[in-house]
A = this chain, B = another copy of it.
Amino acid sequence: MTSASSGPPAGPPRLGRQPSTSQAELSHIALQLFIEHGFDATTIDDIAARAGIGRRTFFRYFPSKNDLPWGDFDSLLDRMRDHLHSLPAGLSLVEALRAAVIEFNRFPQEEVPYHRQRMDLLLNVPTLVAHSTLRYASWRQVVAEYAGQRLGVPEDSLQPQAIAWTYLAVSLAAYEQWLKNDDADLIALLDSAFELLDTTFDPRHDGP
């Protein structure tokens, strides 16, 4: 629904009328409006008008207003899935996941401010906070798949699911800190969050 990395697939030479806009463009326009006037104060009509399309047409590009800030998330997921499976077999499961999750959240310097604004919306606007849960589910699915495979157990059993949930949890905790501090480094925060996971639940470490 949100996937398909752009660029013509070069297969069938394109039939029928051309689309008058794109997911990426709408997402971009909407993000601007959200930042300018707030998420709730921005209506679909506003976005459609700004994009020069009809309201009805908007819903052919995005299934809901809530999906706008996510843009094309599915292709990011594909990248993470690939990355996971390309990791050296020498890594333990937790090492592999840690590496992949950190890699997943690495963005080119110039995209960082953009990414920050998106995440600011996603983690602070209640409607979006709620809706994002559904996207996180796909993310967890990728992690659980890999964990299940590595552990040799069904991906929907307790351990892979718990692991997937936990990595999501830790990532979100790191993101929250990142957003609270203008010049914080996301990667460093993720790293120390994963570190905490080890020390906090290390049975040798018995207090406080």
15 residue pairs from A and B, CB less than 8 Å apart: A92-B207, A93-B208, A129-B137, A157-B177, A158-B196, A159-B200, A162-B169, A162-B173, A162-B174, A162-B200, A165-B170, A168-B169, A197-B201, A201-B201, A201-B202
Q: Which residues of B contact A164 (CB under 8 A)?
A: 173
Chain A contacts with B in 174-208, Cβ cutoff 8 A? 174, 176-177, 180, 189, 192-193, 196-198, 200-204, 206-208
A85 close to B (CB within 8 Å): no
A134 close to B (CB within 8 Å): yes
Chain A contact-residue range equals 35 or more
A138 close to B (CB within 8 Å): no
Give bound CA distance, A105 to B200, whole Å.
Answer: 23
Give bound CA distance, A75 to B157, whole Å.
Answer: 32
Q: Which residues of B contact A169 (CB under 8 A)?
A: 162, 165-166, 168-169
Q: Contact between A166 and B197 (Cβ–Cβ < 8 Å)?
A: yes
Q: Apart from A129-B133, A161-B176, what are 5 other A-B pairs with CB-CB below 8 Å?
A: A94-B200, A133-B133, A151-B208, A161-B173, A168-B169
Q: Contact between A202 and B203 (Cβ–Cβ < 8 Å)?
A: yes
Distance to closest chain B CB from A150 (angstroms): 6
Give bound CA distance, A133 to B133, whole Å.
Answer: 7
A112 close to B (CB within 8 Å): no
A131 close to B (CB within 8 Å): yes
A163 close to B (CB within 8 Å): yes
